[in-house]
Amino acid sequence: MTTEQLKEKFIEKYGPGEVNGYFSPGRVNLIGEHTDYNGGFVFPCALSFGIYCLVRKTARKTVRFASLNLPFEAEVKVTELNQRVGKEWVNYPIGVFAQFMKKGITFEEGADLLFWGDVPTGAGLSSSAAMEVVTGVMINDQYNIGVDKVEIALMGQKAEHEFALVNCGIMDQFVSANGKKDHAVFLNCDTLKYELVPVVLKGVKIVISNTNSPHKLDSGKYNERVAECKAAVAAIQPYKQIAALGELSWEEFLSVEDKIENETVRRRARHVVSEIKRTEDAVKELRANNLEKFGQLMNGSHDSLRDDYEVTGFELDTMVEEGRKIAGVIGTRMTGGGFGGCTVSLVRDEAVDTFVEQVGRNYEQKTGLKPVFYVAEIGDGGKKLF
């Protein structure tokens, strides 16, 4: 849908008048999974699709929320923009309003809001973070508040914790706010220091494969992994003072691994620390234009997520296994929180059509699900459009 069509939809819904538009992207993580809430490194990039928010401020003391993707609508008093509304999608933007209110900001004017997204929901491409960030960018601009994009990302994360009840790390919101076209974000999730690394893929495409097996992070499995990582830290602390697994080098982890008595918790920690090392190594290989080695590290990431972290499942594993059979696939892995969602693959240009056709056919035969493929473009972070 074009921005002009979105404006028409807004006017159909709320009547004629001036309207402003904002956009924040979904993301795909090239490598560095389940490291963000452990204070480690991640390496995501913003996508060219995401969530749009159209807005018109009003004299009315309420904010109206509507979406072109979802049927539920709500009208909330400006004094009540810090209260959850059941289990509805509006909790994502309301949760962001609530973070501004925590800072002592009061909303004297209301607004009409219309959201639309072309990032697939439930695909693990972070539609929720894109909605949080676009709301933060919109509020910051419309109400002249003046916070920076790092703070907007942190507010989006808090909204997810408190209003969606998912104990996510900072990666998704951070890249949605701070991404840059044709760059990936090498982010230290402990310090929030980051570098924009050029992604130069001559003759290679990033292909996202949607398993159409939706992930549900709020099902409890994600929060369970967070708890297991905290248990690993607690087991290590008598021997090495750490606050998060991200503080351990791989060599340090090997020296204390046997102190984690619970075998499942030990494997969770092994994934996190090895994944942080893989991510650092992968960025070095990309900078040196060693795509083959980058791809090998992607493959290693998936295997660790499958065997040690156990967040892949039949559909994601099938997609990866079928992808690895195709000549011209440099590397392929699950991306996102897991438990369904998408894989990300580096595929040589001449193999893209074969990849889509053969992987799609074989995956559907094995799972009964019809996948969707996207050749990804790396886009900018959250911004005002008009």
Residues 49-107: pLDDT tens digits?
999 999 999 999 999 999 999 999 999 999 999 999 999 999 999 999 999 999 999 99
Residue closest to 382 by CA, chosen among 94, 66, 123, 150: 150
Looking at the predicted structure, is the pLDDT value of residue 122 above 70? no
Is 114:9 a contact under the CB 8 Å cutoff? yes
Residue 339: predicted pLDDT = 86
Is 283 contained in some domain? no
Residue 169: predicted pLDDT = 86
State the pLDDT confidence band at 267, using cuts at 50, 70 and 90: very high
Q: What are the tokens at 203? A: 């003759």
Looking at the predicted structure, is the pLDDT value of residue 218 above 70? no
State the pLDDT confidence band at 362, using cuts at 50, 70 and 90: very high
Residue 166: predicted pLDDT = 84
Alpha carbons within 13 A on the beta-carbon side of 275: 34
Residue 215: predicted pLDDT = 60
How many helical (H) and strand (E) elements, i.e. helices and strands, does the chain have?
12, 12
The C-alpha atoms of residue 42 and residue 30 are separated, in whole angstroms, by: 8
Q: How far is CA 281 from the centre of its chain?
A: 21
Residue 71: predicted pLDDT = 95
Average pLDDT over residues 202-230: 86
The C-alpha atoms of residue 377 and residue 85 are separated, in whole angstroms, by: 35
The C-alpha atoms of residue 181 and residue 184 are separated, in whole angstroms, by: 8
Q: How far is CA 33 from the centre of its chain?
A: 10
Residue 219: predicted pLDDT = 59
Domains: count for the chain: 1
Residue closest to 215 by CA, chosen among 130, 133, 316, 132: 316
pTM for the structure as a whole:
0.92
Is 280 contained in some domain? no
CATH of the domain at 192: 3.30.230.10
| Residue whose structure tokens are 């594993």 | 317
Is 365:330 a contact under the CB 8 Å cutoff? no
Which one of the listed residues 36, 112, 172, 308 is annotated catalytic?
A: 172
State the pLDDT confidence band at 205, using cuts at 50, 70 and 90: very high
Q: pLDDT averaged over the chain?
A: 95
Is 62 contained in some domain? yes
Q: What are the tokens at 116? A: 């639309």
Q: How many CB atoms lie within 10 A of CB 365?
A: 10
State the pLDDT confidence band at 337, using cuts at 50, 70 and 90: confident
Query: What digits encode the pLDDT tens for the residues 166-201?
Result: 888 899 999 999 999 999 999 999 999 999 999 989
Average pLDDT over residues 241-267: 98
> In terms of residue numbers, what domain contains 84?
3-198
3-state secondary structure of 33: coil
Is 39 contained in some domain? yes
Is 194 contained in some domain? yes
Provide, rounded to the nearest whole percent, the portion of the chain with pLDDT above 70: 97
Is 19 contained in some domain? yes
Is 24 contained in some domain? yes
Residue closest to 271 by CA, chosen among 250, 293, 292: 250
Residue 351: predicted pLDDT = 98
- Does residue 36 carry a catalytic annotation? no
Looking at the predicted structure, is the pLDDT value of residue 113 above 80? yes
Q: How far is CA 118 from the centre of its chain?
A: 15
Is 212 contained in some domain? no
Residue closest to 133 by CA, chosen among 48, 37, 23: 23
State the pLDDT confidence band at 15, using cuts at 50, 70 and 90: very high
Q: What are the tokens at 127? A: 């539609």
| Residue whose structure tokens are 């004629």 | 16
Q: What are the tokens at 380? A: 């900018």
Residue 376 has phi, psi (to 5 degrees) of: -80, 145
